[in-house]
Amino acid sequence: MDLEDLEHNTRDGLHAASLAGTWIALVPGLAGLRDHDGTLAFAPRLPAGITRLAITLSVRGRRLRVEITPGTTSYRLLDGGPLRLLHDGTPFTVTCTHPVIRPTTATPEPTGGAPTQPRGRAPAHRRPRP
């Protein structure tokens, strides 16, 4: 997504591929969503600085709401029949009447220093606009 109109083309609308990349980073990435032989599995992790991630998914004709905080992950079925899921490898069933809350596993602190760009590939530094 262009945060600044560097190419003077934001009037043309959204960059759909950027939206897909964002979805991949959040849902399979931070929420840890995987499909294991037809069963949805979650392994949620939130890095420092992100306090909440909430997603709503359509799963086999049902709507599933997943809310992740650094301490807990909540699974709530908004409509439809019971749904079997995995949380960090542990199976459970969520229904419309009984949301399920599980602990969110802490994200390990990164090791090593900050990554660097290859020689000559660092982004240009721009001055903020007045």
Q: Provide the pLDDT for residue 2.
A: 57
Q: Which long-range contacts (CB under 8 A, 24 or more apart) does 1-8 make?
A: 4/126
Alpha-carbon separation of residue 65 from 5, 68, 71, 75, 83 (angstroms): 34, 10, 17, 6, 12
What does pTM read for this prediction?
0.75
Give every CB contact of residue 43 below 8 A, 6+ residues apart in sequence: 32, 34, 87, 88, 89, 105
Please identify which residue in the block is written with the tokens 């969520």. 94
- pLDDT tens digits, the chain, 130 residues: what are they? 556 777 777 777 766 667 788 899 999 999 999 998 889 999 999 988 899 999 999 999 999 999 999 999 999 999 999 999 999 999 999 999 999 999 998 877 777 888 888 888 888 777 777 6
Residues 71, 45: contact at Cβ < 8 Å? no
Q: Provide the pLDDT for residue 42.
A: 97
